[in-house]
Amino acid sequence: MPTTTTQPYRPRDSFLPFSPPTIGEEEIAEVVDTLRSSWITTGPKTKVFEEQFAAYVGAPGGTSVMLNSCTAGLHVALVALGIGPGDEVIVPSLTFAATANVVEHVGAQPVLVDILPDTLCIDPEAVRRAVSPRTKAVIPVHYAGHPAELDELSAIAQEHGLALIEDAAHAAPTWYKGVMVGSRQNLASFSFYATKNLTTAEGGALTGAPELLEAARVIGLHGMSKDAWKRFDKVGSWRYDIVMPGFKYNMTDLQASLGIHQLRKLAGFHRRRQEVVAAYQAAFSNEPALEPPTERSYAVSSWHLYILRLRPQHLTLARDQFIEELKARNIGTSVHYTPLHMMSFYAHKYGFTPSDFPVALDAFSRMISLPLHPRLSNSDVQDVIDAVLDVVRTHRKA
């Protein structure tokens, strides 16, 4: 594996993308088979993928619900739990906008809280302080693939009669104290977006108690009665009922065709991510200007993201300039994420200032997401390491 080198630095010749999907011939053949079949939208392959994904994560009742995004899963979860106007839902400020947007969609208020300084997951004590008589749910995010403090959060939820909805967009596969995320009775929403560890291009899944999933299945397909997709099949019937005004959130068999094979490869993908992370950790852990990410002893991260934080007291340039320096060395990066309380909609509506959540603000100001995906060769990883360390050497404070 790559190591720290003392050789003169030479930048790579071509640009290294941050996180391209890893699609093989098996996925392509399965999609072609679907295109040649009688089903291209929600159908038999979606059902197979639901069952196989549920088995993989150990979902309650051996079932899951496939949807067109993790966002859809979070939205459906809130609706299934009856959360709406006048209610409050606690979410971390450091997350993608969807985590809070869905709360706005149901007419409830997202209550933002700060994060833990090591894992960057939601701070349970901040959650406890934020609970009010209007609070109905908490949405922890398994940030970058590291599990949130589920035992503490579950205890708070039980104490106050709150629902726990896991934003597991980064968490396939993630383990908390030896148990895989997605195996609990509470609802958990996964993402299969193009950059995720398992991709269906767009897509997502819900796991949780079977009775909640049955409600979610109806909510996510127009409010149509159970197994409405079978109405065009020989064993189905054209008759169906609308039991509520639902949404159009179903996954297609084209997407599931990708997912079936991505799931079979996921363990191998995860091993490669762990290898890349091990090389990064070895290269960066003794550099005073850099703060590598944490994996607590009870956790097995999916390593969806590798979040490197700069220590500005050791550098003459800020985070944004560091990114530009890496780009000049043909290394693609990203930032995950601008905290929600700094986004104009939430800042203006709720009167937030950047300093309201100091841990999230500090992490955001220093973070860079480095390339991390199964397609990285050892040479690619070495290029990333060499580029990062060259920027540090070039811009180190005297």
Tell me if 380 sits within 8 A of 2, measured CB to CB.
no
| Interval 26-51: pLDDT, tens | 999 999 999 999 899 999 999 999 99
CATH topology for 25-262? Answer: Aspartate Aminotransferase; domain 2 (3.40.640)
* pLDDT at residue 259, as a whole number: 98
| Interval 4-24: pLDDT, tens | 666 789 999 999 999 999 999
Q: Which residues are catalytic?
A: 196
- Say whether 196 sits in a helix, a strand or coil: coil
| Interval 295-318: pLDDT, tens | 999 999 999 999 999 999 999 999
Residues 193-201 have a mean pLDDT of: 98
**Is residue 398 very low, low, confident or very high in pLDDT (cuts 50, 70, 90)?**
confident
Long-range contacts of 121-130 (CB under 8 A, 24+ apart): 121/92, 121/146, 121/147, 121/148, 121/149, 122/90, 122/91, 122/92, 122/148, 122/149, 122/153, 123/92, 123/359, 124/149, 124/152, 124/153, 124/156, 127/90, 127/153, 127/156, 128/156, 130/90
What span, in angstroms and rounded, lies between the C-alpha atoms of 268 and 193? 19
Residues 199-203 have a mean pLDDT of: 98
What span, in angstroms and rounded, lies between the C-alpha atoms of 133 and 346? 22
* pLDDT at residue 108, as a whole number: 98
**Listed residue (135, 134, 170, 169) closest to 153, CA to CA:** 135
Tell me if 319 sits within 8 A of 366, measured CB to CB.
yes
* pLDDT at residue 254, as a whole number: 98
* pLDDT at residue 323, as a whole number: 98
Distance of CA 105 to the CA centre of its chain: 20
* pLDDT at residue 231, as a whole number: 62
Residue 173 has pLDDT above 90, yes or no: yes
- As a CATH number, domain 265-394 is 3.90.1150.10
* pLDDT at residue 240, as a whole number: 84
Do 265-394 and 25-262 have the same topology in CATH?
no
Residue 228 has pLDDT above 60, yes or no: no
Structure tokens at 242: 């609308």
The backbone region for 205, taken as left when phi is positive above 0, alpha when psi lies in -120 to 50, beta otherwise, is beta
What mean pLDDT, rounded, does the chain reach? 96
Residues 387-396 have a mean pLDDT of: 98
Helix extents (H) in 36-110: 44-57, 70-80, 98-105
* pLDDT at residue 234, as a whole number: 64
Residue 230 has pLDDT above 80, yes or no: no
Q: Kindly give the pairing relationship between strand 135-138 and strand 163-164.
A: parallel
What span, in angstroms and rounded, lies between the C-alpha atoms of 298 and 115? 18
* pLDDT at residue 225, as a whole number: 80
Domain definitions of the chain by residue range? 25-262, 265-394
Query: Per the omega criterion (within 30 degrees of 0), is the bond before 350 cis?
Result: no
Residue 232 has pLDDT above 70, yes or no: no
**Listed residue (376, 203, 184, 205) closest to 278, CA to CA:** 376
